[in-house]
A and B are shown apart, each in its own frame.
Chain A
Amino acid sequence: MNLFEAIAAGLDEAREHRGRTILSLIGLTLGTASIVSTLALFGGSSQRTQDFLNEVGGAATVIVRNEWTGRVQLSPREAASPRLTFRDAEDLRDEAPSLRYISAARNWELLYEGPRHQFIGEVVGTLPAYMAINSIAPRRGRYLTELDIRERASVVVLGSSFADSLFGSTDLAIGRDLTIGGERFTVVGVLEPEYFSFAAWEGNAFEYRNLRAYIPLSTALKRFASDDQIGWLTLEALTPAAIVQAEKEVETVLLRRHRVRDFNFDRQSTDVQEGQRFMNLFNAIFLIVGIVSLFTGGIVITNILLSSVVERIREIGVRLALGASAFDIFAHFLVQSLVITALGGLAGTLLGTLLTTTVQAVMQLPAHVTPPIFLAGIGTATFVGLVAGLFPALRAARLDPVEALHYG
């Protein structure tokens, strides 16, 4: 008895007991649909997280901040530490070979005065590498250069929202002057507006980047500070794998200068993973629902197959008398189970695809039923069929020919 005939027999069986087959497959179909859509949504959201990480500098980025102990009384060593300074950034450039980009920044809240508006907003004093690390780009004009840093130039690169509110539009802003904190700056560039959203109902995760301006760190320290302390260092390792080595190098340099561990490392990836956790919980619930449906679906299939075996004991007896081996009978019932569950799996996968497409359209969530997910859906259902069919098939195969032949 070849496989093709066994499959045909399984399909016949399913057709003959259409109502029963559909009933037995409901649980399995819903379970498969649930798992397929969960996998698709999960895949979509983790792709989104990866995109976000790349936007903010990728998994190779690490931010170094001053550590605030919160204590009023500092130890003598802590009090003596220069904290993070512009010089730290310059030393790292020479002494941390695992770093590709080194940027330092310090921010202030200052009064902006333009021809159209004035308001208090964020200004960031930083270095040219900041652009590369955060993959920001000027829409018009240019970004800060090494020359700006060296000459302590009075130039500013505006975030797109600031350019709009201060001057009316990006084009009107280029080459014009404005005052920040009472100091005059010339606009040399306006950045691309940045937009990123994890889901439709969440706002622009990057809007803060449109609401700030960048000036050379050297200029900023000279005009707005009496020291050369900086707020944070943004570093990018050569590769994500090199990040541990890079942190070690940075630690060595900083410890030598500070003589105390008054800084900490903040990897970008850990932040985003926090956010991903909620999504994962959501997915886990769906997945559990799917698995429970599959489980109960499997039990229903086992029961229905068992009743099918009992109904056909005489027939099994006849088949045995004609020379069917126990294995033939076993295979007959197992294939029958596999055929109907594969059908259910296919139906469930299609339903899951439909569900995913709907969710994607309605909630603007990124999700795709990829071929591996499609196969996983059908595969899972077929696996349930294998497990569900095992007991009934075994029971059929272990019937005694004489008893089966004279049953009922």
Chain B
Amino acid sequence: MTPALITVEQVRKTYSLGRTTVEALRGVDLRISGGEFVAITGPSGSGKSTLMHIIGCLDSPTSGAYWLDGQEVSRLRGTALARTRNRKVGFVFQNFNLLPRLDIVENVALPLRYRGGIRRRERHARAEAVLARLGLGERLRHKPDELSGGERQRVAIARSLVNDPAILLADEPTGNLDSKTSAEIMRVLRELHAAGHTLVIVTHDANVAAEAQRRIHIRDGRVANGEP
């Protein structure tokens, strides 16, 4: 077995809402190898979003350990966590989350800007290269609201790739798209997987989940299908 890119061990996450505490994750174990295409599924309230936030370095577990690409992320906080998120994780969101005032090159170059130490010219060159790879080389100076939904999601995918991250983390990437555009985006994601990228998709769409090599089902804060 290839060494795991992602290792989650007994991760718990509790939120306190006033006097009551909510256990979103109650001891999750899972391993994802480099180059895998995994779907995380589960009903709303199952804890799959919380798991995605922890895997995406947006949040830290209350207890347990999380290793990403050889680094124990569960120990990191603040700026160190932000830096890991910047370098290792590429996010694709359901509603694209492009910044409306920036053109698409600036949007795609944003992670490079926060990485620091790269000149503006170089950042834009890299962003343009990734956009060209995703078939958007013609529309570099457009603002997001001048693009179709499918194009916007491709811009978002370009942005997630620009920093050459260890994992692509997509949260309902086709949730806001019609079926034809969804198919187009899934094709893009399949191609990225074929090119060697590690993909983790969080979805409750069975069709999308079916595309993955492996499905991890979360229910009541635990992995339900029992194959870590």
A residues near B, CB below 8 A?
A: 1-2, 5, 12, 16, 314-315, 317-328, 401-402, 405
Could you jot down 29 A-B contacts, CB within 8 Å?
A1-B113, A1-B116, A5-B113, A5-B120, A314-B97, A315-B99, A317-B97, A318-B97, A319-B110, A321-B58, A321-B93, A322-B85, A322-B91, A322-B110, A322-B111, A322-B159, A323-B82, A323-B83, A323-B85, A323-B111, A323-B115, A324-B82, A325-B79, A326-B82, A328-B82, A328-B114, A405-B58, A405-B93, A405-B97
A327 contacts which chain B residues (CB < 8 A)? 79
In the complex the two chains form, what is the Cα distance from A271 to B106 in whole Å? 67
Say whether B114 contacts A326, CB under 8 Å. Answer: no
In the complex the two chains form, what is the Cα distance from A324 to B120 in whole Å? 16
Q: Which residue of A lies closest to B53 (CB)?
A: A402
In the complex the two chains form, what is the Cα distance from A328 to B113 in whole Å? 10
A12 contacts which chain B residues (CB < 8 A)? 101
Say whether B58 contacts A319, CB under 8 Å. Answer: no
Interface of chain B, main secondary structure: helix
B120 contacts which chain A residues (CB < 8 A)? 2, 5
In the complex the two chains form, what is the Cα distance from A144 to B12 in whole Å? 104
Residue B173 at the chain A interface, CB threshold 8 Å: no
Q: A1-B114, A16-B101 are in contact. Are A320 and B78 (CB under 8 A)?
A: no
In the complex the two chains form, what is the Cα distance from A402 to B57 in whole Å? 10
In the complex the two chains form, what is the Cα distance from A318 to B115 in whole Å? 15
Residue B56 at the chain A interface, CB threshold 8 Å: yes
A5 contacts which chain B residues (CB < 8 A)? 113, 120
Interface of chain A, main secondary structure: helix
Query: Given A5-B113, A402-B53, list of 12 further CB < 8 A pairs?
Result: A1-B116, A317-B97, A320-B82, A322-B110, A322-B111, A323-B82, A323-B85, A323-B111, A325-B83, A326-B78, A328-B114, A401-B58
In the complex the two chains form, what is the Cα distance from A16 to B56 in whole Å? 33
B residues near A, CB below 8 A?
A: 53, 56, 58-59, 78-79, 82-83, 85-87, 91, 93, 97, 99, 101, 110-111, 113-116, 120, 159, 163
Give A1 Cβ to nearest chain B Cβ, in Å: 5
- A-B interface, 7 closest residue pairs, ranked by CB to CB distance from nearest: A323-B86, A325-B82, A323-B114, A325-B79, A401-B58, A318-B97, A322-B111
A320 contacts which chain B residues (CB < 8 A)? 58, 82, 85
B82 contacts which chain A residues (CB < 8 A)? 320, 323-326, 328
Give A15 Cβ to nearest chain B Cβ, in Å: 11
Give B77 Cβ to nearest chain A Cβ, in Å: 10
In the complex the two chains form, what is the Cα distance from A323 to B114 in whole Å? 6
A322 contacts which chain B residues (CB < 8 A)? 85-86, 91, 110-111, 114, 159
In the complex the two chains form, what is the Cα distance from A5 to B110 in whole Å? 12
Task: Select A321's contact among B85, B87, B115, B116, beta carbons within 8 Å.
Answer: B85
In the complex the two chains form, what is the Cα distance from A324 to B115 in whole Å? 8
A328 contacts which chain B residues (CB < 8 A)? 82, 114
Q: Which residue of B lies closest to A405 (CB)?
A: B58
Give A336 Cβ to nearest chain B Cβ, in Å: 13
B110 contacts which chain A residues (CB < 8 A)? 319, 322
Give B69 Cβ to nearest chain A Cβ, in Å: 15
Give B144 Cβ to nearest chain A Cβ, in Å: 12
Give A10 Cβ to nearest chain B Cβ, in Å: 13
A323 contacts which chain B residues (CB < 8 A)? 82-83, 85-87, 111, 114-115, 163
Q: Which residue of A lies closest to B58 (CB)?
A: A401
In the complex the two chains form, what is the Cα distance from A321 to B53 in whole Å? 10
Say whether B116 contacts A326, CB under 8 Å. Answer: no
Say whether B101 contacts A321, CB under 8 Å. Answer: no
Q: Which residue of B lies closest to A318 (CB)?
A: B97
